[in-house]
Amino acid sequence: MNDLASAGVPGRPLWDAPAVRAALRAAAPALAAFAAVRLLGLVALAVWSTANGKDWHTLLSARWDALWYTRVAEQGYGYAVQLPNGDVHSNLAFFPLLPWLERGLSALSPLSPADAGMVVAWLTSLAAAWALYATGERLHGPRAGTILAALWAALPVGIVQSMAYSESLFTALAAWGVYAVLTGRWVWAGALASLAGLTRPVGAAVVAAVLLTAAVTLWRQRAGGVRLRAALRAHPGMLPGVLLAPLGWCGFFLWVGARQGSFTGYLEVQGDWGNGFDGGTAFGAFIWHQLSGPTFAAGLALLVGVALVAWLYVHGVRQGQPLPLAVYGATVLLLALTAKGYFGSKPRLMLPAYPLLLPLAAGLARARPVRAWLVIGLLAAGSAAYGAFWLNGSGPP
């Protein structure tokens, strides 16, 4: 199951009602574990916020980026704020799928756009957990799938999964999109990649997973003497899927460019926010500043964290992680670690990089159940405490 060839074997339609019901029953323990971890985080946040004189609901639905998404849902694009230093922050920096869903859900229900965003996050975080279970189960068995979903919930910044942010929506689309590639459902893979590309800039990672996997699959078949037309016939839907995949990301990028009167208009909007990509120069300088000053311990911890992330990725690849997961994970990490801007947001930017957790899930699945769930319980408790502390403090911009 772990080789690339399995990714090109045509599978059943992704939406086969009896198969979906059976898959949901199989995933029920994983979804329950995920929900339990997230519920612990919400309870900790509610208790901490009450003691701190803050409203946990507001922290989840109406702070930081959630306000920008809500404004897009309510007013559309075109809003900008000019800071005292002259910088302009435009809401064109925010991709449209979450605001569209907020607007639609609030129009069909009594929910405000902000509450609709939180509902979308809660529901899509469950969808993401299901996709993670399906991925882990396919590669390492049901226990690994359940543990993978629980580990994702127990990440230190896991509380973001419950906020009116786009990370949960994106991870659900990305994880199911990559799973569709793994199972040879190319049209679904392309459609989900396109939707992921309308959700966050890192949607490019899902597009890369679809395109590179298709290219390598065809190249291997060509190297084996198979004609291109025959190779495409052997992988139904591959060509439409490949054509669909970049439409969302490219469409929004080009639309912002046309609106700004510049092909690189989206990059310029991000630049006005102080964001962009510099190959990791700014992040490296930030780490060096921490190491060379009174915050040496924090800098060292940050360096160890980056090294651990790199080790997890390399370890997963060495274990035979399938190409779509390896490409997707590498692209998410590359975009997160080479971006400049507010460095406190990097753990949140890496939240969708679930393939990093596969080696840990596989290892814990081989351990005794009591030991595995004790580890997950400790991680969940730490995540709950950190999430409550974080949102009552600086929080995720």
Lowest mean pLDDT among 137-141, 197-201, 209-213, 390-394: 390-394
Burial string for 132-164 (b: 16+ CB within 10 Å, else e) reads bbbbbbbbbebbbbbbbbbbbbbbebbbbbbbb
Confidence class of residue 231 from pLDDT cuts 50, 70 and 90?
A: confident
User: Per-residue pLDDT averaged across 230-248, rounded?
Assistant: 95
- The candidate with the shortest Cα–Cα distance to 323, out of 239, 240, 223, 209, is 209
Listing DSSP states for 163-186 in one string gives SSSSHHHHHHHHHHHHHHHHTT-H
Look up residue 194 and give its two tokens. Answer: 């396109």
Number of domains in the chain: 1
What's the mean pLDDT when you consider all of the chain? Answer: 92
Any domain includes 396: no
Tokens 């997950």 belong to: 376
**Residue 67 scores a pLDDT above 90:** yes
Rounded mean pLDDT, 141-155: 98
Range of lowest pLDDT (26-35, 75-84, 90-99, 198-207): 75-84
Residue 202 in any domain: the answer is: yes
What's the confidence (pLDDT) of residue 6?
A: 39
Per-residue model confidence (pLDDT) at position 2: 38
> Cα dist. 266→6, 85, 165, 269, 273 in Å?
37, 21, 20, 5, 11
The one-character DSSP state at 200 is: -
Domain assignment of residue 271, yes or no: yes
Establish if 397 belongs to a structural domain: no
Bridge partner residues of 277 (DSSP): 339
Task: Check: CB of residue 162 under 8 Å from CB of residue 49.
Answer: no
Please tell me whether residue 68 adopts helix, strand or coil conformation: helix
Q: Hey, how many other C-beta atoms are within 10 angstroms of the C-beta on 325?
A: 26
Domain span including residue 307: 4-391
pLDDT in tens, 50-62: 999 999 999 999 9
Residue 33: pLDDT band (50, 70, 90) is: very high
> What residue spans of the chain are helical by DSSP H?
17-51, 56-61, 65-75, 97-108, 113-140, 142-153, 167-182, 186-196, 204-223, 228-234, 238-244, 247-260, 265-272, 281-291, 296-318, 323-337, 346-349, 358-366, 369-391
CA dist 1 and 5 (Å) reads: 8
Does residue 126 sit within a domain? Answer: yes
- pLDDT higher than threshold 50 for residue 10: no
Dihedral sign from CA coordinates of 275, 280, 285, 286: positive
C-alpha distances in Å from residue 27, one per residue of 30, 31, 340: 5, 6, 38
Write out pLDDT tens, residues 81-135: 988 888 889 999 999 999 999 999 999 999 999 999 999 999 999 999 999 999 9
DSSP secondary structure code for residue 41 in this structure: H
**Whole-number percent of the chain with pLDDT over 70:** 96
With a cut of 80, say whether residue 15 has pLDDT above it: no
393: how many CB neighbours lie within 10 A of its CB?
8
